[in-house]
Amino acid sequence: MSEPDAAQPPTFCYRLLALKSAGVAPRVIEYFAKRNLVPERFESRAGAETLAIEVEVAGLDTAAAQHIARCLAGLVEVERVAVALKTEGLRASA
């Protein structure tokens, strides 16, 4: 796999599955906002009892992206978190 272009920061994709709650989406966004990052894409889909969230964000290095994934996994309502570079398949991180 080739290295990402140094001039273009990598884009990380997050996928979360959480219990359906009105407060989950704002808490997810907060982890990016406090790093002054605006997601390129934020999408949520509500099921009967769960909320699926996908976030794409650029401007992170791999260590920071993994740290955010661990933080998101610590949210009470979050059941699963996966994070990957946009060009590769998702790998579970929590």
Note the pLDDT of residue 9. Answer: 79
Q: The domain that contains 80 carries what CATH number? A: 3.30.70.260
Convert the pLDDT of each residue in 41-70 to its tens digit: 999 999 999 999 999 999 999 999 999 999
Residue 25 lies in a domain: yes
CB atoms within 10 A of CB 74: 10
Residue 26 lies in a domain: yes
Report the pLDDT averaged over residues 20-29. 96
Residue 90 lies in a domain: no
Its domain, for residue 27, covers 11-85
> Total structural domains in the chain?
1
CA dist 22 and 24 (Å) reads 6
Residue 22 pLDDT grade (very low, low, confident, very high; cuts 50, 70, 90):
very high
- Closest-CA residue to 11 (of 35, 40, 36): 40
CA dist 74 and 82 (Å) reads 13
Convert the pLDDT of each residue in 73-84 to its tens digit: 999 999 999 999
Residue 91 lies in a domain: no
Report the pLDDT averaged over residues 21-43. 96
Residue 85 bridge partners (DSSP): 12
Residue 33 lies in a domain: yes
Residue 6 lies in a domain: no
pLDDT averaged over the chain? 89
Residue 94 lies in a domain: no
